[in-house]
Amino acid sequence: MARIVDKPYWTFSAYNACTSGIQVKCPKCRAEGVVTADDKHAYFRCMSCGHQETRDRTIYHYDVHNQCKNCGRYYRVDIEEESKQCFSVLHVACPYCGVIMSGEVHKTAEAYSYTAEIMDGREPYFGFELWFLTSFQGKWVWAINREHLAYLIEYLSAVLREKPKDGPKKTQADHLPTFMKTAKNRERIVKLLVKLYET
C-alpha cells in the first residue's frame, strides 16, 4: 500500500527554490533553463543556448525634493509612474504653491523584493514559463523543478497520505488546489505529471 508523509508547507515554494533553482523555458530558444536568486539579484541561465539574464531585486523609491523658487518652502514629490522613473530630471509642481519647476530625480534603495508565488505557470522573478507545465480541464498543473514534480507524483499516487506527527499543521499539500486532490481527477493528473517527468 503506497503511503506518504507530507512535507512542510514551504518546501517547494518559489522562495525555497532560490538556491536549488526553478526550471523554466528559455525565452530565446525554448530549451530548459534555470532561475536562481540571492538576496539582491535573480539570475537566469539557459542550459542549451547559454543565454543569461540578471535582474536587480532591490525596491527603489523615486522622488524630486527641492526648495521652491516661488514660495521658498522645501518639498518632496514622489514619482510613482514607472515611465518617469528613468529620467534624471523632471518638471514637478510645488505641492504648496503649484509653481512648476525642474528638479533632480533621487533614487533611494528601500528594501529587497519578497518572492511572489508562481502565477499563471510563470516564475516570479523574470516571468518566464515553467519547464514542467501542463493543464488539466483548463487549469494549470505545474512543478517548479524535478524534485517538486517527483513529490507531486508520489503524493497524488499514494493510497495513504499523512501529515508529519511533530511538524506544523500546514503541509505542502495545502498548496495544492482542490481539483488536484479530488479522487476522480488524481489518476489522470498523475499520468500528465509522469509524462512531464519523462521529458
Specify burial of residue 132 (Cβ count, 10 A radius: 0-12, 13-18, 19+).
buried
Q: pTM of the full predicted structure?
A: 0.73
- For strand 160-162 and strand 3-5, is the pairing parallel, antiparallel, or unpaired? parallel
Is residue 162 very low, low, confident or very high in pLDDT (cuts 50, 70, 90)? confident
Domain boundaries, the chain: 3-56+114-197, 58-112
Write the pLDDT tens digit of every residue in 101-113: 999 999 988 766 6
pLDDT for 16 equals 82
Share of the chain above pLDDT 90, in %: 66
pLDDT for 1 equals 45
C-beta separation of 26 from 46 below 8 A: yes
